[in-house]
């Protein structure tokens, strides 16, 4: 009653998932068909693609353990689907208990410490882990004023961390899907870091005040009205920041007038 058969011939029990029934082939197969954001993207973007791209970033940073953990951080979704976070909040504890059981089974199958997979679902936790590794030989890291003690090499490592976090930010994918960012932008670390610092906080406020639909509407408008910034508007960060602030202020002003 609470079991399913997988593509590669395994039986998955939702009450008590068996680590021996976990198969990396099933995980890869299922996640490659599972769209992120419940398919609300301009183009297909699978959970498998998300996991692989993220793992590549950590591999390039010389952190193979975290690359492997990131590759597995959404593995449970191969059996549970990619449930939107707001819906997870509604499902609450019962869903989290099922998710934890599957993550535990996956951890046992791949012999990876479960709490690491669980932490792998949090960009903040990954960021802390990388920064800690980058500084573990530095006694100054133990002091309160950490940033002042960082060497040039450590600053570069911190920038890599921030870059990885910014690339993984959902706003980055929204900009890509809206044709507002291109491959050359993604490859430019300075551009992505500036977006995270100057633009994404405005988007956060916009979504909080007006909702996701307002952000989608704004991005679509900017895409239709924007000239080719590669020639005429070289500072895409400044352009997106100003346009977002103007849109947010305009919408909030209209709301206040109605009130």
CA distance 253 to 259: 10
Strand, coil or helix: 236: helix
pTM of the predicted structure, to 2 decimals: 0.50
Radius of gyration of the chain (CA): 21
Tokens of 160: 């890599």
pLDDT of 6 reads 94
Using pLDDT thresholds of 50, 70 and 90, give the confidence band for residue 13. very high
Average pLDDT over the chain, rounded to an integer: 78
Do residues 129 and 66 lie in contact, with contact meaning Cβ atoms separated by under 8 Å? yes
Strand, coil or helix: 3: strand
User: Across-strand partners of 46?
Assistant: 35
pLDDT at 117 over 60: no
- What is the mean predicted confidence (pLDDT) over 199-205? 91
- What is the mean predicted confidence (pLDDT) over 51-58? 83
Using pLDDT thresholds of 50, 70 and 90, give the confidence band for residue 238. confident
CB atoms within 10 A of CB 153: 9
Do residues 130 and 161 lie in contact, with contact meaning Cβ atoms separated by under 8 Å? yes
């Amino acid at each position: 009653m609470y079991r399913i058969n997988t593509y590669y011939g395994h039986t998955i029990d939702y009450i008590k998932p068996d680590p021996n029934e976990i198969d990396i082939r099933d995980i890869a197969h299922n996640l490659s068909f599972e769209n992120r954001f419940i398919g609300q993207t301009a183009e297909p973007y699978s959970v498998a693609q998300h996991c692989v791209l993220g793992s590549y970033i950590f591999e390039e940073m010389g952190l193979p353990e975290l690359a492997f953990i990131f590759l597995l951080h959404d593995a449970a979704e191969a059996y549970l689907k990619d449930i939107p976070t707001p819906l997870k909040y509604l499902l609450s504890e019962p869903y989290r208990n099922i998710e934890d059981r599957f993550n535990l089974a996956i951890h046992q199958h791949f012999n990876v410490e479960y709490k690491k997979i669980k932490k792998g679902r949090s960009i903040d936790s990954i960021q802390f882990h990388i920064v800690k590794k980058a500084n573990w030989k530095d006694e100054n890291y133990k002091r309160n004023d950490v940033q002042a003690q960082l060497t040039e090499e450590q600053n570069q490592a911190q920038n890599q961390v921030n870059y990885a976090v910014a690339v993984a930010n959902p706003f980055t994918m929204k900009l890509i899907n809206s044709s507002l960012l291109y491959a050359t932008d993604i490859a430019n670390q300075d551009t992505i870091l500036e977006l995270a610092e100057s633009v994404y906080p405005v988007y956060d406020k916009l979504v909080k005040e007006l909702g996701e639909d307002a952000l989608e509407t704004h991005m679509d408008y900017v895409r239709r009205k924007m000239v080719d910034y590669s020639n005429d508007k070289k500072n895409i960060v400044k352009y997106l920041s100003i346009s977002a602030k103007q849109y947010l202020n305009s919408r909030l002003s209209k709301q206040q007038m109605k009130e």
